């Protein structure tokens, strides 16, 4: 299996081993567009793999900071209380770049930039650029994707149109 993320149309497609589509959904990538540079708040392109799966047994809307659950469950009230927080919810798929000099090592390293596929508040817009570099999904969809993938699953992030 592998995952394609298409930046122009804010779309994630998960393909099975036979090429069949297992999931096709809208996502939200970086409001700053595509880019690999550290501190750019952009979504990195190219080939990646899932380095770690975090939160497999956590309830939906579990809040994470630094890849650790805070003990909070996201609600609209919590969101209003902390409007400045960049909410990482439910599940985390931590990405690692596979292309040295492009998205791996040095100031271009996806993993060291802490780029994830993760859940977000239901109130967040999906299908438009709006993240700080990560790939945001609806909580019920990240649960589905999380259960489909294994550590090591390939992820291709493209600024071209779907193939």
Q: Does 94 reside within a domain? A: yes
pLDDT for 161 equals 52
Contact between 82 and 60 (Cβ < 8 Å): no
Is residue 160 very low, low, confident or very high in pLDDT (cuts 50, 70, 90)?
confident
Percent of the chain surpassing pLDDT 90: 97
| Single pTM value for the model | 0.95
In angstroms, the Cα distances linking 114 to 10, 13, 42 are 20, 22, 12
- Please state the domain count of the chain: 1
Containing structural domain, residue 44: 28-149
* β-bridge partners, 49: 96, 154
Q: How far, in Å, CA of 7 to CA of 147, rounded? A: 23
pLDDT interval class at 163 (50, 70, 90): very low
104 falls within a domain: yes
pLDDT score of 13:
98
Within a domain: 6: no
């Amino acid at each position: 299996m592998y995952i394609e993320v298409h930046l122009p149309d804010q779309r994630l497609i998960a393909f099975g081993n036979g090429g069949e589509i297992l999931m096709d959904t809208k996502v939200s990538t970086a409001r700053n567009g595509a880019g690999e540079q550290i501190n750019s708040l952009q979504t990195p392109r190219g080939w990646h793999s899932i380095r770690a799966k975090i939160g497999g047994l956590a309830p939906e809307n579990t809040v994470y900071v630094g890849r650790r659950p805070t003990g909070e469950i996201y609600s609209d009230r919590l969101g209003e209380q902390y409007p400045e927080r960049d909410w990482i919810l439910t599940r985390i798929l931590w990405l690692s770049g596979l292309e040295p000099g492009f998205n791996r090592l040095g100031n271009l390293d996806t993993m060291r930039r802490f780029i994830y596929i993760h859940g977000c508040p239901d109130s967040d817009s999906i299908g438009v650029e709006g993240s700080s570099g990560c790939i945001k999904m609806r909580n019920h969809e990240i649960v589905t994707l999380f259960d489909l993938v294994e550590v090591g699953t390939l992820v291709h992030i493209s600024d071209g149109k779907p193939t």
